[in-house]
Structure 1
Amino acid sequence: MFSRKRPKHVRDEDAPQSAALAHSMTSDGAVKPEHGPWDVRWAPEAARLDLGSLQIPAIEGVEVRVQAGQDGNVEHVVLVSGAGAVEFAAFAAPRTEDIWDEVRSEMLQEMKAGGLSVREDHGPHGPELIAQLPDPQGQLVDVRYVGVDGPRWFIRATFQGPVAADASAAPALWECLEGLVVVRDDEPRPVREPLPMRLPKEMAEQAQQQEEQPEQ
């Protein structure tokens, strides 16, 4: 029912790989992409906020809002800039298969079944979903879902507000997606399980100090 992209296997009679392709491939068959989000092995040098499985690029004009539990594990990461916001979420994925096609199809069916306005579009990272969802006040808000398949990980970026309909409304948020780095651990994890994120040591200590301060 759902389509999944599978790698093409090279046969003995096939033409040999180019030197550039051979250099870009790793032992697990993954190929270095032309742009981010990056697997940590290919990440260019840059200043980033280290949240464990995700490293958020430091972009001028972008505020990073992190919601964490009492144990320091990060539950939500939202970036805000100008007329919009984007939430990043990272999940475990198969070693040799992409999952965005399947995830997107399920989301599309669920939203249509709920009577929501949703359609498919195509962007720089491939197929996307564009929808209008009610906010807590009941007002409809533009939302754009972007999925990126990587080696054993999957990123879902949820753009909200004017930037979801017009990328030029907050280009810095798209720059953050391009500069995002994923650090996939070696733990075997079920497909679609959220990858663990944590507060940096300094942020965790600051949060603990605020909790320990007596209320005025």
Structure 2
Amino acid sequence: MFGRRKKSGSAEDVADEAREAEQVVDELDGTEAADGPRRVNLPPAPRPDGPWDISEVSRPGEGRVDLGGVFVPGVEGMELRVEVAGDAIVAATVVLRDSAIQLQAFAAPKKEGIWGEVRAEIATGITQQGGIIDEVEGPLGWELRAQVPVQLPDGTSGAQLVRFVGVDGPRWFLRGVISGQGAVQPEAAGLLETVFRDTVVVRGEGPMAPRDPIVLKLPNDAQMVPEGVQQEDQETSRFSGGMGQLQRGPEITEVR
């Protein structure tokens, strides 16, 4: 309940009331910007369909690959790759036919989401490179659909279509980068979007600075296969039959 404070007329009370009034104005101004709702520095939104925090799932390893910082859902026919920065594994990429989604988890503030802020930084970086950005509300919430400038094999310039998706959780942020046909045709992205939603994030209780990547690890019985090299015998691997083998993929550049 809120009670009305008695006014004493003192300078201290007047100053307190002025500060409260300024706070209310700031909150109201932040709710609606001139061009629409404010999308940065908001508390994490509800996640009724995932991605999940480890505290929200009773059996995270059931049907998922344990990579330490995240549990990635297993999908029939998929190939799982890991991305390395230095000596640390910081991202996992699920490749499914001619589409892929890269998953990367970061630490985040306790009461404030960072996806709106990260979106703005990604958009700025791509437009500065000559790319085109479209911010839309998609199946996974607010996302960026980008045309990123690339150099084609024949030396000419082209553009790659990419979708950046993200969700804020309790003290963590999960980012997905969808490429291939999943970034072009919505019907090709459905399974990748399901993988993103059903991912479980393990933030841990230790102190981490906001935006620090949540480091991943290989499962105990996994083998690292260099990119482009095929395993001759996958029958003995628990990643066979739809899970694929773990491969070391291209290193990523974190957007800060």
Asked whether the equivalents of residues 105 and 213 of structure 2 are also in contact (C-alpha less than 8 Å), the reply is: yes
CA-atom RMSD, angstroms? 2.4
Pick aligned residue for 1:56 from 51, 55, 72: 72
Q: Which residue in 2 is equivalent to 1:5? A: 42
Identity %: 37
Post-superposition offset of 1:44 = 5.8
Which of 115, 119, 128 is matched with 2:134 structurally?
119
> CA–CA distance in 2 between the matches of 1:115 and 1:70?
29
> Which runs of 5 or more structure 1 residues have no equivalent in the other structure?
8-29, 209-216
Scaled by the length of structure 1, the TM-score of the pair is 0.76
What letter matches 1:39 in structure 2?
Answer: D
Hey, what does 2:164 align to over in structure 1? 145
Confirm whether residue 42 of structure 1 aligns to residue 79 of structure 2: no
TM-score by length of 2: 0.65
Gaps of at least 5 residues in structure 2 are: 1-29, 31-38, 226-256
Contact 1:88–1:158 (8 Å) recurs in 2: yes
Q: Which amino acid aligns with 2:54?
A: V
Deviation of 1:70 after TM superposition, in Å, equals 8.8
**In structure 1, the residue corresponding to 2:125 is in which secondary structure?**
helix
- Aligned residue identity for 1:86: I
Q: How much does 1:171 deviate?
A: 2.3
Deviations 1:164-187 (A, max 9, x none): 132311422111111100011111
Bigger radius of gyration:
2
Q: Does the Cα contact within 8 Å between 1:82 and 1:170 map onto a contact in 2?
A: no
Residue 163 of structure 1 aligns with which residue?
182
Which amino acid in 1 is paired with 2:109? P
Q: Is the partner of 1:103 in helix, strand or coil?
A: helix
Aligned length: 182
